[in-house]
Amino acid sequence: MPSLLISALRKHSLRALLLLSVVALQACATSGVLNVARDQFRHGSTNEAMQTLSEASVSRRNKLLLYMDRGLIAQTAGHYEDSIAAFEQAIQLVDDLDYVSLRDQSAAILTSDWASRYSGEYSERLWLHTFQMLNYLMLDDPQGAAVEARRAVALYEKYGDVLKQDMFTRSVMALSFMAAGQYDSARVEYRKLTEDFGIAEPKPLSRKQSELILFIATGFIQPKLPGDLFIDINARISFPFYPASSNSPPTVQVLADNQPLPVERADSQLVAISSDALADRGKSIAARQALRLAAKYGVSESIESHDALAGGIVKLLFLALEQADTRSWETLPAYLTLIRVPLEPGAHSLRLLINGSDGNSAIIGQRRTLDIELAPGQRSFRLIRLGVNNN
């Protein structure tokens, strides 16, 4: 593509500049409808956010983000079948995007990574399966959850060093296998959890035992930020990064008759895992930056040799176009927490006390009452999202 552009610019520099400007503006444009829906979701208007996304028309560059947001917001609203459908669309698109098209590469070579279709960080691809497992467990479909667990295992085999700190997802994988009666697979995952985190394999429930399992999502993940490195007056490299976070996991107490119950828990801070996943892509991002810098330099020098004014304009345009691709799955929570509460069979009235922060808003003294009835040997699942308008 650069050689064709150079030829075109030599013959019709002003017309080509205008065309390049239009392409560049389109490439760097964010999707306003996604921002509207995300803002509605953060402020507690979950149904409005779902309606906005159901009617949304976004560019092909942002389709994956649309499906991700649809799935997570639908799950928060308790529409698990709709969430499954949206996440499955996202998973299929990720598979398709692994075969990057020539058009994507060509569009980004003289503009920025914004021109390419967003394909998700390794961590975001994993969490598609994490939330699918939760959907199926909430629908009392352990076999469906186990299928998603196996798809997650495949990602761990490919990106395990980057994703291994996700204690929550790995615990849900083991739980899904166990719930589906696939005990050998569950033992494999629990053995790894024991080695890495000291989490022991739970014993099978007897007829005199039951268990409540809480999936708690708190706050919102911090979005990517742009960073810049100026090489000289006419060249810069712009790169995305996640800001460091010192926030702690939420505190969770489960009380019965005002007495705290013993619990086991597993937490994952999503921004830390996403930061590792982004860092793992650092070499490929740098390689694209170097290729793009060389292509831009070649184009601008060629134009300048024929038209100094046009060449100077192109250099300024190229400098402005180099924007870090800060797209990310911004409806994700800051923390995912799994709480296991052993209980006797029968009726229980429990109180939950939860405190936490995602760096942007505090979740202080959140109280929930859970009235549940457990059959002998039953595991009951509850999914709670906190931090959406502090509710």
Yes or no: say if 42 and 389 are a contact pair by the CB < 8 Å rule: yes
Name, in order, each residue with C-beta under 8 angstroms of 112's C-beta and a sequence gap of 6 or more. 27, 28, 238, 292, 321, 322, 323, 324, 325
Is the pLDDT at 104 greater than 70? The verdict is no
* Residue 218 pLDDT grade (very low, low, confident, very high; cuts 50, 70, 90): very high
The amino acid present at 390, given as its one-letter code, is N
Beta strand segments in the chain, E: 210-218, 225-232, 235-241, 251-256, 259-260, 264-269, 335-343, 346-357, 362-374, 379-386
Yes or no: say if 348 and 374 are a contact pair by the CB < 8 Å rule: yes
Is the pLDDT at 320 greater than 80? The verdict is no
Is the pLDDT at 277 greater than 90? The verdict is yes
Distance from C-alpha of 59 to C-alpha of 103, rounded to nearest angstrom: 14
Distance from C-alpha of 37 to C-alpha of 30, rounded to nearest angstrom: 13
Residues facing residue 240 across a β-bridge: 226
* Residue 204 pLDDT grade (very low, low, confident, very high; cuts 50, 70, 90): confident
* Pairing, β 210-218 against β 379-386: parallel
Yes or no: say if 386 and 219 are a contact pair by the CB < 8 Å rule: yes
- Looking at residue 1, what is its pLDDT? 45
Distance from C-alpha of 150 to C-alpha of 19, rounded to nearest angstrom: 47
| Domains of the chain, first to last | 2-208+268-336 (1.25.40.10)
Name, in order, each residue with C-beta under 8 angstroms of 175's C-beta and a sequence gap of 6 or more. 137, 186, 213, 338
The closest alpha carbon to 187, from 198, 177, 197, belongs to 177
Name, in order, each residue with C-beta under 8 angstroms of 284's C-beta and a sequence gap of 6 or more. none
Yes or no: say if 356 and 267 are a contact pair by the CB < 8 Å rule: no
Is the pLDDT at 181 greater than 80? The verdict is yes
Distance from C-alpha of 375 to C-alpha of 369, rounded to nearest angstrom: 19
CB atoms within 10 A of CB 25: 11
Distance from C-alpha of 168 to C-alpha of 170, rounded to nearest angstrom: 6
Query: CB under 8 Å, gap of 24 or more: what pairs does 227-230 form?
Result: 227/324, 228/324
Widest distance between CA atoms in the chain: 86
Distance from C-alpha of 174 to C-alpha of 202, rounded to nearest angstrom: 10
* Residue 12 pLDDT grade (very low, low, confident, very high; cuts 50, 70, 90): very low
* Residue 311 pLDDT grade (very low, low, confident, very high; cuts 50, 70, 90): low
Q: Region 189-207: what's the mean pLDDT?
A: 92
The CA-based angle 261-266-267, given to 5 degrees, is 115
Distance from C-alpha of 375 to C-alpha of 142, rounded to nearest angstrom: 17
At 30 the three-state DSSP class reads coil
Name, in order, each residue with C-beta under 8 angstroms of 316's C-beta and a sequence gap of 6 or more. none
At 389 the three-state DSSP class reads coil
| Residue with tokens 């961590």, as numbered in its chain | 123
Could you tell me the two tokens for 1? 């593509």
pLDDT tens-place string over residues 138-168:
999 999 999 999 999 999 999 989 999 999 9
* Residue 6 pLDDT grade (very low, low, confident, very high; cuts 50, 70, 90): very low
- Looking at residue 10, what is its pLDDT? 46
The interaxial angle of helices 102-109 and 13-28, nearest 10 deg, is 110
- Looking at residue 390, what is its pLDDT? 45
| Residue with tokens 């830390």, as numbered in its chain | 272
| Residue with tokens 């560059």, as numbered in its chain | 61
